[in-house]
Structure 1
Amino acid sequence: MSFGFFGIQFGFALQNANTSRIFSTLGANPDQLALFWLAAPVTGLLVQPVIGYLSDNTWHPTWGRRRPFFFLGAVLASLALFLMPNSAALWMAVAVLWMMDAAINVSMEPFRAFVGDKLDASQRTAGFAMQTFFIGCGAVIASLLPSIFSHYGVSNVPVNGTIPDTVRYSFYSGAAVFLLSVLWTVLTAKETPPENLEQFRAERKQTRGMGYAFAEIIGGFGRMPKTMVQLAFVQFFTWIALFAMWIYTGTAIADTVWHTTDAQSVAYQDAGNWVGTMFAVYNGVSALAAFILPIFAKYTSRRIVHTTCLIIGGLSLASILTITTKEMLIVPMIGVGIAWASILTMPYAILAGALPARRMGYYMGLFNFFVVIPQIVSGVLLGGVTKHFLGGHTVNTLVLGGASMALAGILTLFVADKADHE
């Protein structure tokens, strides 16, 4: 039931490792990148709560509750992945990013609720860890694709401002893997109908209409469980750090290690390939750590594990400032990978135990607000902060991100986890 996440993360990994590279190749300045990346969090803000609400209130005897959304999102995301590297102008790439991120969110959000639907409380940490494993595996391969194609002789040089062939072929491969992986889950996983189907259908008729849906979504902020409110602060500072890393790692290491800011140069594109290698490392580490962290959580607590992992990740991200050789850039990615494994597992496992079963999709979608709001804040502010307060050097922005992640780790200690009292 988690295999579809292998394909979903193929899409996200290609986006995270290559979007800034594509924007820069098409003429974007470094201080514009964060603003152009706003497409990702804004679509998540709009799409995920709505999809969560709709999937809670959907039942089809053949398609089930969550799987219709898996399928629709996969078709649209695969189309966007094909279009992205064929963008002929910067505005087109930004528009396709909006489409791609919205479509990936349609598939992704119900997967979180899917685990909550099908597993009891004792299995959920392991269930989210399995998702993290497939996320890591998909991201490793997707992040390495440009380097793999380059190794086999595909051109990595932009010609007349177009996207290099290595990136184009990587996105084509990602489109195919995304669709096929999600189809595997759609066709092989089963869903059980609501306990009282007639009551479910009657309630669905009463709540039909997008006006009611939006009122419910907005009203949900006032009914959030205490644990969800506490986790919101943790997520806020965590995702400021991740957004900074995804946007600025390429420009940062091109500047500090390859000593170039020219996006049309061979050196800049080589740095872009190395970002894929770095991101493959942290995702590979997360895939392995996914099954180790629940063991530590069993003997300590999920809060302690998450705190420790976030502090390790934050210090690792900040350490990129001190590195001047490409090989050494792999080392901090190990620490980031440990943090990433926990980010994808522990908050959702803690949250699932505090949510009512019949509203799992709704609250998981609402929880995504605290993933995308910090990204929107970052998109609006990071460009100006980097330019006016950090000397225009994006490696300093990574240090700021590292500090933010470490702060999130400290805030985790104040989260109430129901499992601590059972």
Structure 2
Amino acid sequence: MQKQQPRLSFWQLWTVSFGFLGVQFGFALQNANASRILSDLGADLHSLSFFWLVAPIMGLLVQPIVGAASDRTWNKLGRRRPFILAGAIAAALGMFLMPNASLFVALIAPMIFGVLMLALMDASFNVCFQPFRSLVSDMVPAEQRNSGYSIQSLLINVGAVIGSILPFVLTNVVGLENTAKAGAVAPSVVWAFYIGATVLLGSVLWTVFRTKEYKPKDYYAYKGLDAAQVEKNLAQQKTLGQKLSEFFGLMKTMPDTMKQLALVQFFSWFALFIMWVYTTPAITQHIWGVEVKWFDPAYLKSVDVPASIIAAKGAAGDWVGILFAAYSFFAAIFSVFLAKLADKIGRKVVYAGSLFIGGISYISFLFFEDLTPTTVNLLITQVTVPAGAVNLIVPMIGIGIAWAAILAMPYAMLAGSLPADKTGVYMGIFNFTIAMPQIVCGLTAGFILKYAFGNEAVYIIMVSGVAMIFAGFAVFRVKEHVQVTSLQ
């Protein structure tokens, strides 16, 4: 007999997701600075998307495995928390090591070391992400699901704001250098990664030791599962072939809602991947007026790079942190209202409308070119940047709205259609809809940029805007369903 799952207090909802603040802090540092780091270590412009393939490939491999494992794990720490803790420790290690790639030059080329640490961070972030999503689904009753995922979205974006802006603060407030010699990483970025690793680990420890997962018998009762049958299934010893057969069977029988959301996910994450990879070169070229040739490693080796170009790249890289912090800030604000809006006018309307706004915002990048020097008071410091850079804060509002919806709405729409005994593995399978569009984008975006746009990166941002609008239209194909206990 199914028991009524207890409602969580506000602070319980908060604590369940608090570790996500630190995980996203680290992820935001990576998103805003990985292209910068890899460029400093010697990557050319059109190959950046290939290096970024590490992230979705890690997600594709890691999340389904971790999801299935966490569904079958019950120990003193609980069901999901052991994986969250292990992922956080590994991610913190990668964050400490990646910006120090040049120190290991005697053992391995800095570029290769940087990519390996990027892979370690991404694998570790994915070990954290998937169980966190499932933890909210496990702990939060259906009537609080909009609130639970909205709080998670809020915390994600608070972490992203701090993580994105940190290198800028370390340069303009603390006084660390934001420029780097060839083959090295700027000191401001190095220290940002150190701080990010510390925050990540600390916040995850808070969730792990302050959240008490339900005991198996209580969890099964709350989800309407037959405890004896579940225990019998868990006790079965299966060969690798049987496990793979079962996994692919689950993919074939996945809920219709998941299949319908896949198209939305494809276009929205295709757009996001472009933004993360190419915003830095896009605004360096389009807003700071740095010519395309200054992104060609072969050309850079043949000339002495002027100090003005080095300074412009450093300033643009810092400003990307401000822009990414801005969209995360606006996403955090929108997250506060997201649950109430979804309850009032429906998830699909809120989700689609948010994606339309985000797509238009990407396209508007093209119209903000203005090289006029402008002094900006950021409260913590004053900086002089091109007027176009300041104006780009406007489209960040729309991108933030889209980002908040992407973080919360698909999971809120999906959770009710998943069998409670397979939530983890299905959340992992659902990550395919995040990883695959990024892989497709990584394999194609560099060629599109080089051969269609002559390495003028602002035009690839236009492509992301069109993709986001397509995602908005695809939302209306999604049909939501009520919670099920098992597909078997």
TM-score bracket, normalised by the shorter chain, equals over 0.9
User: Which residue is equivalent to 1:94?
Assistant: 115
Displacement, 1:377?
A: 0.3
User: Which residue is equivalent to 2:456?
Assistant: 393
1:87 maps to amino acid:
A
Distance in 2, Cα, partners of 1:210 & 1:80: 30
SS of 1:320 mapped into structure 2:
helix
SS of 1:290 mapped into structure 2:
helix
How many residues align? The count is 418
1:67 maps to amino acid:
R
1:129 maps to amino acid:
S
Question: Residues 368-401 of structure 1: CA distance to partner in whole angstroms, max 9, x if unpaired?
Answer: 0000000000011110011111232111111000
Q: Say if 2:80 is the partner of 1:66.
A: yes
Q: Say if 2:193 is the partner of 1:171.
A: yes
Q: Say if 2:374 is the partner of 1:353.
A: no
Judged with a 3 Å threshold, the aligned counterparts in structure 2 of structure 1 residues 18 and 210 are, in CA distance, closer, same or farther, namely: farther
- Alpha carbons 1:207, 1:213 under 8 Å: kept: no
Question: Residues 170-214 of structure 1: CA distance to partner in whole angstroms, max 9, x if unpaired?
Answer: 000011111111011100101112236665443222155554433
Distance in 2, Cα, partners of 1:218 & 1:385: 33
Displacement, 1:104?
A: 0.8
Q: Say if 2:426 is the partner of 1:363.
A: yes
User: Which residue is equivalent to 2:11?
Assistant: none
2:88 maps to amino acid:
A
2:367 aligned to which of 322, 339, 343: 322
User: Which residue is equivalent to 2:327?
Assistant: 282
- Alpha carbons 1:53, 1:213 under 8 Å: kept: no
Distance in 1, Cα, partners of 2:465 & 2:406: 14
- Alpha carbons 1:244, 1:398 under 8 Å: kept: yes
Displacement, 1:26?
A: 1.1
1:369 maps to amino acid:
F
1:293 aligned to which of 338, 343, 347: 338
Displacement, 1:21?
A: 0.5
User: Which residue is equivalent to 1:130?
Assistant: 151
- Alpha carbons 1:40, 1:101 under 8 Å: kept: yes
1:180 aligned to which of 160, 180, 202: 202
Once structures 1 and 2 are overlaid, which stretch shifts more, 102-111 or 205-214? Answer: 205-214
Judged with a 3 Å threshold, the aligned counterparts in structure 2 of structure 1 residues 203 and 37 are, in CA distance, closer, same or farther, namely: same
Judged with a 3 Å threshold, the aligned counterparts in structure 2 of structure 1 residues 229 and 160 are, in CA distance, closer, same or farther, namely: closer
CA RMSD across the alignment: 1.4
User: Which residue is equivalent to 1:15?
Assistant: 30
Distance in 2, Cα, partners of 1:78 & 1:198: 39
- Alpha carbons 1:158, 1:164 under 8 Å: kept: yes
Report which of the two structures shows the higher radius of gyration computed on alpha carbons: 2
User: Which residue is equivalent to 2:298?
Assistant: none
Judged with a 3 Å threshold, the aligned counterparts in structure 2 of structure 1 residues 25 and 141 are, in CA distance, closer, same or farther, namely: same
Judged with a 3 Å threshold, the aligned counterparts in structure 2 of structure 1 residues 358 and 166 are, in CA distance, closer, same or farther, namely: same
2:169 aligned to which of 140, 148, 154: 148
Question: Residues 330-361 of structure 1: CA distance to partner in whole angstroms, max 9, x if unpaired?
Answer: 11111000000000010000000111111111
Question: Residues 141-196 of structure 1: CA distance to partner in whole angstroms, max 9, x if unpaired?
Answer: 00001000001210111024310000000000011111111011100101112236
Distance in 1, Cα, partners of 2:251 & 2:234: 21
- Alpha carbons 1:45, 1:373 under 8 Å: kept: yes
Q: Say if 2:157 is the partner of 1:157.
A: no
Distance in 2, Cα, partners of 1:207 & 1:124: 34
User: Which residue is equivalent to 1:302?
Assistant: 347
Once structures 1 and 2 are overlaid, which stretch shifts more, 157-166 or 324-333? Answer: 157-166
2:212 aligned to which of 167, 190, 207: 190
Judged with a 3 Å threshold, the aligned counterparts in structure 2 of structure 1 residues 212 and 270 are, in CA distance, closer, same or farther, namely: farther
User: Which residue is equivalent to 2:270?
Assistant: 240
User: Which residue is equivalent to 2:50?
Assistant: 35
Contiguous gaps of at least 5 residues in structure 1: none
- Alpha carbons 1:316, 1:402 under 8 Å: kept: yes
The TM-score, its normalising length taken from structure 2, stands at 0.84
Distance in 1, Cα, partners of 2:454 & 2:341: 41
Displacement, 1:71?
A: 0.6
Once structures 1 and 2 are overlaid, which stretch shifts more, 91-100 or 347-356? Answer: 91-100
Distance in 2, Cα, partners of 1:208 & 1:112: 26
Distance in 1, Cα, partners of 2:463 & 2:131: 32
Judged with a 3 Å threshold, the aligned counterparts in structure 2 of structure 1 residues 306 and 32 are, in CA distance, closer, same or farther, namely: same
Give % identity.
Answer: 46
Judged with a 3 Å threshold, the aligned counterparts in structure 2 of structure 1 residues 211 and 180 are, in CA distance, closer, same or farther, namely: farther
Question: Residues 38-87 of structure 1: CA distance to partner in whole angstroms, max 9, x if unpaired?
Answer: 00000000000110000001001x21100000110011000000111111
- Alpha carbons 2:41, 2:182 under 8 Å: kept: no
- Alpha carbons 1:306, 1:343 under 8 Å: kept: yes
Q: What pairs up with 1:111-126 in 2 under 5 angstroms?
A: 111-126=132-147
- Alpha carbons 2:40, 2:182 under 8 Å: kept: no
Question: Residues 296-320 of structure 1: CA distance to partner in whole angstroms, max 9, x if unpaired?
Answer: 1122110010000000001101111
1:161 maps to amino acid:
G
Q: Say if 2:72 is the partner of 1:57.
A: yes
Displacement, 1:216?
A: 2.5
Judged with a 3 Å threshold, the aligned counterparts in structure 2 of structure 1 residues 105 and 305 are, in CA distance, closer, same or farther, namely: same
User: Which residue is equivalent to 2:469?
Assistant: 406
Judged with a 3 Å threshold, the aligned counterparts in structure 2 of structure 1 residues 282 and 207 are, in CA distance, closer, same or farther, namely: farther
